[in-house]
Amino acid sequence: MAKINLVTREKKRPEWCNNENLSGIAIMFFLLFLFLYSEEVSLFKAHEKKKISEISKAGNEQLSNLAASLQGKQKALGLRSEGLKEKISDEKDTLIADLEEYNEIVVSEEATEESAIAATDLKEEIETLEVLIEEDKESLDVVTTDLEKVTVDSAKFCDECEFNYSGLGTLCGLRKNYLMTVYSNTEEAAKAAVAQWDPNCMK
């Protein structure tokens, strides 16, 4: 068997393929990768920011609608409460006047048939007024309870506490002020809405 002499020739690399050039190319590819990665991250952050902004806007509108609803209830219940208080006051004034008149008739020595009829009529009116006053007091208690449900005690509202609801994170006082400034909600309604969404806003 004959020996084959293999002659190995040294392959010469192309000039661009030397170690210095390869390092430069690697650095360029790495910088390109970093650039593309940072662009991707920027696009992702922009998308997330837009998404959070949309959630925040929708949340603000919902919170403002809640505040407006509470504001309407507060106003209606407040008017109803004032009306009942005024009615009870008028009924009490009438009751006192009727009682005085009734006592004058009963104490009077000149009892006539007309005065007896007047006394009987007054007594019926007094009894009716007493029933009306009790009914109106019960109605006022219900209205007061309903009003307490849609309002918050200002002394217990915590402006410095953390507000966090559905991606909206801030301070309770700032959220309240935002509703008042941007959506023109009353302070009472804004406090009630903020506290209803995050009970953490109450001390």
| End-to-end CA, the chain | 102
What pLDDT shows up at residue 56? 67
DSSP 156: G
Tokens 């922009």 sit on residue = 46
What pLDDT shows up at residue 92? 92
User: Could you report the average pLDDT of every consecutive run of 10 residues in the chain (203 residues)?
Assistant: 56 60 69 73 61 64 87 91 93 90 79 82 90 93 90 91 85 93 92 92 91
Q: Tokens standing for 54?
A: 């949309």
What pLDDT shows up at residue 2? 58
What pLDDT shows up at residue 163? 92
What pLDDT shows up at residue 201? 93
What pLDDT shows up at residue 24? 66
What pLDDT shows up at residue 161? 94
Contacting residues for 195 by C-beta, under 8 A, at least 6 apart? 152, 157, 172, 201, 202
